[in-house]
Chains A and B, each alone.
Chain A
């Protein structure tokens, strides 16, 4: 499960390496698509080679019998997740932001340009809107729509929306395992409790609203994937502050946070900064704070770019 979650962040960190320069250089979507297809092909080939070697070298392990109680817990979690996938997919929320984000993807595919035309209104942009263009999230959807021919509405609402739900519950599973010392029963209870609470947390712009009604938006990924993932890793680090693997994972999540959602530009570093400062004070160890600051460096870079744009110091004319 960790691989699934961290793999999502690695994917977007890698995608951003190609997407952002091309967006800033006002290149065509087709170029990004071709480059990204090549990268994906190379990664898949390498992945299969590594997998093949691992399977070849693996000795026959003694299979642990899964208890029937554990099977029931896994089934219960699966039912919950399937219900949420179905329930979010049938929602029909349609607001101004929906028009903007899905319009952005449609416009990108239709015109083969990236952020040169306003996705919401269809009018030509005078300057590159870095408030949105610094994140490659919607361009990733546009790449897939261009490759497959699937319309933006279909792809975003059904594919990306469902992916958000799957990632959310995967992260919750990992949080549950960390909180309840790997007890499957309690983890299943935790997921169900969270699921039910989400269904009843009806208020404006809450994480639940975005998960259930707007799971296809980058903001929903910020609220229900990035922030819970940071929470999970901070929890693991709290248990073992010397674990280098968890620090690296936190850096990776922070590196990919803005590529997934611009909303993470302030929230993510604020969360990490406050948490590591608290840990540093309690453990009387400055190195914890320094490690945390290293993790938020990517966000600091994006923040500088964003502030230069909002102050009209860095303007890319279209």
Chain B
């Protein structure tokens, strides 16, 4: 997921463009200084040892390679969850605010925090994020309609269906009897490497994706073969792709539509 090779690059992506990294570092150093120089030197020493051991044992390129082999290297960012960025920063802010003597000093501390916050961008609270989604289950009516159509016309208990990514992510949460024709791995593979790179492993998925996800009218013979090999019963196509005539020539028939999609059924008459 991060697609990087060093711990520093991983850290940069994790902290992002916001000023929280700097605020965290400042708070950590001030807390360290307070404990090392003050009465509670035991805490200071413990903190120094924990930071040192964390870097030596965990947060370095060698450990990253080893852990990457044991776990999925795409999930290494999770080790940064163990760094208490929010807790340390919040503690530092509250501590220094409470220690500031007088209103003026407190205002200065508050002002610095506000300035730091201003560097962090708009945050998660935006006009879009406060809007309530269309349905209580957060699944659009479009998807519900597609699932109802598939349920009505399916000829097997678990029909194999091909969708564009947006629909594919939601259909099985609405109707778990549906089986994906194209796997997540195939989707992500082509998003990363593009089509027509000679992949044999995902060749049938590639053909289906070109049609459902991009509205490309590939050779009819290729599509028919891919439908047969993957045992696909339904293709769900966006209306804007306007593929009705093409799909009928392939042997697919429209059986229903939602606001944005048309559901096509393919009856495989091969005796495989």
Contact = CB atoms under 8 A, between A and B. Distances in A.
Interface of A: 87, 90-92, 94-96, 98-100, 102-103, 106-107, 109-111, 119-123, 151-154, 157, 172, 175, 179-180, 186, 189-191, 193-194, 196-208, 212-213, 219, 222-223, 227-228, 231, 238, 263, 266-267, 270-271, 273-275, 277-279, 281-283, 307, 310
Contact of B121 (A200, A213, A267, A274): A200
B172 interface: yes
Contact of B172 (A120, A231, A277): A120
Nearest to B17: A203
B6 interface: no
B179 to A, nearest CB: 4
B117 A196 contact: yes
A281 B47 CA distance: 12
Given A121-B184, A123-B179, A222-B78, A203 B14 contact: yes
A274 B58 contact: yes
Interface in B65-86: 67, 70-71, 75, 77-82, 84-86
B180 interface: yes
Contacts of A153: 137-139, 173-174
Interface string B92-123: 01100110000000000000000001001111
Given A107-B172, A122-B158, A201 B18 contact: yes
Given A122-B180, A202-B120, A87 B125 contact: yes
A271 B176 CA distance: 38
A227 B124 contact: no
Contacts of B178: 122
A186 B94 contact: yes
B86 A223 contact: no
19 contacts: A87-B124, A121-B179, A123-B180, A151-B137, A186-B94, A190-B91, A193-B94, A194-B86, A200-B18, A201-B85, A202-B120, A202-B123, A205-B2, A206-B16, A266-B71, A270-B79, A270-B82, A274-B58, A282-B49
Contacts of A196: 117
B90 interface: yes
Contact of A274 (B45, B57, B173): B57
A204 B87 contact: no
A120 B20 contact: no
Nearest to A232: B87
Main SS at interface, chain A: helix
Given A92-B138, A106-B176, A199-B123, A278 B49 contact: yes
Contact of B78 (A151, A180, A267, A281): A267
A267 B81 CA distance: 8
B78 A99 contact: no
Given A199-B123, A205-B1, A263-B75, A102 B173 contact: yes
Contact of B169 (A98, A199, A203): A98
A91 B42 contact: no
Interface of B: 1-2, 13-18, 20, 42-43, 45-46, 49-50, 53-54, 57-58, 67, 70-71, 75, 77-82, 84-87, 89-91, 93-94, 97-98, 117, 120-125, 129-133, 136-139, 158, 168-170, 172-174, 176-180, 183-184, 188
B87 to A, nearest CB: 6
A23 B7 CA distance: 37
Nearest to A175: B87
A310 B173 CA distance: 28
Contacts of A201: 16, 18, 20, 85-86, 120
Contacts of B136: 154
Contact of A120 (B67, B71, B87, B180): B180
Given A200-B20, A222-B78, A277-B49, 14 more contacts: A87-B125, A99-B170, A99-B184, A121-B180, A190-B94, A193-B93, A194-B86, A204-B13, A206-B85, A266-B79, A270-B82, A278-B46, A278-B49, A278-B53
Contacts of B43: 238
Nearest to B128: A92
Contacts of A102: 173
A277 B48 CA distance: 12
Nearest to B177: A110
B20 A96 contact: no
A135 to B, nearest CB: 14
Given A94-B169, A103-B172, A193 B89 contact: yes
Contacts of B45: 282
B81 A207 contact: yes
A130 to B, nearest CB: 14
Contacts of A190: 90-91, 94
A189 B184 CA distance: 44
Nearest to B71: A266
A99 B121 contact: no
B77 A205 contact: yes
B173 A103 contact: yes
